[in-house]
Amino acid sequence: MSDVAREAGVSLATVSRAINEPEKLSAEKLALVRAAVERLGYVPNLNAGSLASAGGKSRIVAAIVPTVANVVFSETVDALAQTLARGGYQLLLGQTSYRSGDEEGLVEAFLGRRVDGLVLTGTTQSASLRAKLKRAGIPVVQTWDLMDKPIDMLVGFSNFEVGRAAAEHLIARGHRGLGFIGAQEERSRQRLEGFRAGAAAHGVADVQAELILPPVDIADAGPRFAQMASRCPELNAVFCNNDMLAAGVVFECHQRGWAVPQRMAVLGLGDLPIARAAFPRLSTVEVRRGQIGTRAGQMLLSRLSGERSGADIVDLGFEVVTRAST
């Protein structure tokens, strides 16, 4: 800033005002400062400036997701970023790659950078991490799940109930040889637990399952489905933890000459574009991925503006979408 002041022939205070309160300067002085900034390539230290200002706000919110490679999370992040931007906040993003230890390290780093708010994926944070976040005193929104006592705020849906509804959907269509393909991570396990509970309620005691170490790829579906079908000849319906896996199962059925859904019914999750493009079109469980990001952003903006309007726990629910594959 001193270099800019010398270059423009103005005081340091004038440079500060040009950066932070340009409306208070004359057009002539503002033009001088901006021309000097351009010539010198000066980039203001926004972090130092914002922390020194009233309230000490960084105008940055951090979000932590398992992966940005999966469209189900990228849609949530996109909606969150757009909502925050409309409120004058920027989004800082971290990825855990499904490692719980990485989440704690990212939280520590983001708190050190004095973010104004935090968005987390899931509700499985350790007791020590929950306590640290409560002490930090910033608004926190957990997403993609439900629980009675969140760290602060929560927006999502019940993964257990998704699994239960999936079982009821398949059984109602006459399929009782049930299987599940998902990832070795908590939300997938909750869906499997609900799937088994829904099946048991209708007298189906044996549900096959294949859990894959994340990140899960569409290419994983065929081999895992083949293993499950070989050990359970009665298998006639599979619920997959996402639509990409479900599409992989459909491809495997085509290669085997098995008609879908006559020989094997297939149900996905997410209502991704591939569900509508597959043949036959995939039945799926729609979860409101974009709405999760939008509502999380709105909850944070409300809290950061000093308001506390609306519920701290928002259940967006889900919907089983029936198409040809079941």
Residue 49's pLDDT is: 55
Residue 309's pLDDT is: 63
Q: State which fold the 2-44 domain adopts.
A: 434 Repressor (Amino-terminal Domain) (1.10.260)
Domain boundaries of the chain, sorted by first residue: 2-44, 57-157+289-317, 159-287
- Look up the pTM and report it: 0.85
Q: What is the CATH number of domain 57-157+289-317?
A: 3.40.50.2300
Q: Percent of the chain at pLDDT above 90?
A: 86
Report the amino acid identity of residue 89.
Y
CB 25 within 8 A of CB 16: no
Residue 156's pLDDT is: 98
Residues of the chain with pLDDT under 70: 45-56, 309-310
Residue 44's pLDDT is: 75
Q: How far apart are the first and last CA of the chain?
A: 66
CB atoms within 10 A of CB 321: 18
Asked if 2-44 and 57-157+289-317 have one fold, the answer is no
Residue 20's pLDDT is: 77
Q: What is the CATH number of domain 159-287?
A: 3.40.50.2300
pLDDT tens per residue across span 244-262: 999 999 999 999 999 999 9
CB atoms within 10 A of CB 127: 7
Report the sign of the C-alpha dihedral through residues 87, 92, 93, 99, in that order: negative
Regarding beta strands 60-65 and 237-240, do their DSSP bridges make them parallel or antiparallel, or are they unpaired?
unpaired
Picking from 24, 30, 92, 35, the residue whose alpha carbon sits closest to that of residue 58 is: 92
Residue 242's pLDDT is: 96
Q: What is the mean pLDDT of the chain?
A: 93
Residue 54's pLDDT is: 42
